[in-house]
Amino acid sequence: MSVALLFPGQGSQRPGMLHGLPDHPMVAATLEEASGILGRDVLELDAEKVLESTVSTQVAIYVAGVAVARGLAAEGAVADAVAGLSVGAYAAGTMCGALDFRDGVKLVHLRASMMEQGFRSGYGLAAIVGLDEEQVSDLVARSSTPEFPVYVANLNAPRQIVVAGTIPGVDRVVELAHEVGCKKAERLAVRVPSHCILLQGVADRLVEAMAGFEQRSVRIRYLTNRRARPTRNFDLIRQDIATNIAHPVRWHDSTEVLVEMGTTLFVEMNPGCVLSNLTTEAFPQVASIAMATSSFEGAVQKIRDAHAEAL
């Protein structure tokens, strides 16, 4: 194995991100297809004010990731495995063959709508840097109460962990993290307590929505969010995509598994750069690029070279 595509989650969005995608026929075709599914011009979703909506943000991130990955594939720059963080799992599922693009657009829209409607205020996330999982879990246990619960959410790196829950619970974790000497701890600009049990209702509805999907052929390995395991099993991928919103994301473990499987090049899809920065820091021996800051032609060549070197 040589090339793994990484698909970012919410937080990677920026104004103009769809307008700035590579000028490629497959990218343009994907944007047009998304507009037809949504019944509106998808390019309207990347305006600064519009991106304040969780729905617009998540749909735009999904479409951007699939569009660029399709463009690369059209040039023969294909992947051996895919991994997506949170909503990025939908794009990863699409590019491995487990999820139809039309279904993906509709599912992401449904997911984001339920998140936006169900958590309008009083909830959030915070990033803790400089403490490990055991330390953060201890702070969460000391901070969480039945009235103001808080949970470990994303494990992005060994010492970069996100917590989710009620604002008082999250703020208490941040306070305690500073007291024990963390490098950094701050609330994130997200109003939904993603990747914890508070989102179980959203996960249940997504499982129900995906229940009738026809079996599809999975072409390449997909790394699960919940258990950081590679799989080509359609049912396991579908379950992971639907339910990851209610469980912690073991992102670092996923990338570590990809390295162990022989990945020599990580390629992060638009619009993100954070995932490629994380892999560069954690695995300096493995090349990592972000499509958002790379030329399309240059990325195609690097992917081709990675495959050639693996032969």
Read out DSSP for 190-259? --S--SSGGGHHHHHHHHHHHTTPPP----SEEE-TTT--EE--HHHHHHHHHHGGGS-B-HHHHHHHHH
At 132-179, the pLDDT tens digits run 999 999 999 999 999 999 999 999 999 999 999 999 999 999 999 999
Instruction: Give pLDDT < 50 ranges for the chain.
Output: none
> Cα separation of 300 and 243, whole Å?
33
Query: What's the Rg (C-alpha) of the chain?
Result: 19
Q: Where in the chain is the domain with CATH 3.30.70.250?
A: 123-187
Domain 3-118+197-310 classified CATH 3.30.420.40? Answer: no
> Cα separation of 304 and 179, whole Å?
49
- Reported pTM: 0.96
User: Which of 3.30.70.250, 3.20.20.70, 3.40.140.10, 3.40.50.300 would CATH assign to domain 123-187?
Assistant: 3.30.70.250
> Cα separation of 154 and 125, whole Å?
10
pLDDT at residue 191 in the model: 87
- Asked whether 8 and 26 are in contact (CB, 8 A), the reply is no
pLDDT at residue 190 in the model: 85
Q: Where in the chain is the domain with CATH 3.40.366.10?
A: 3-118+197-310
> Cα separation of 169 and 129, whole Å?
17
pLDDT at residue 212 in the model: 85
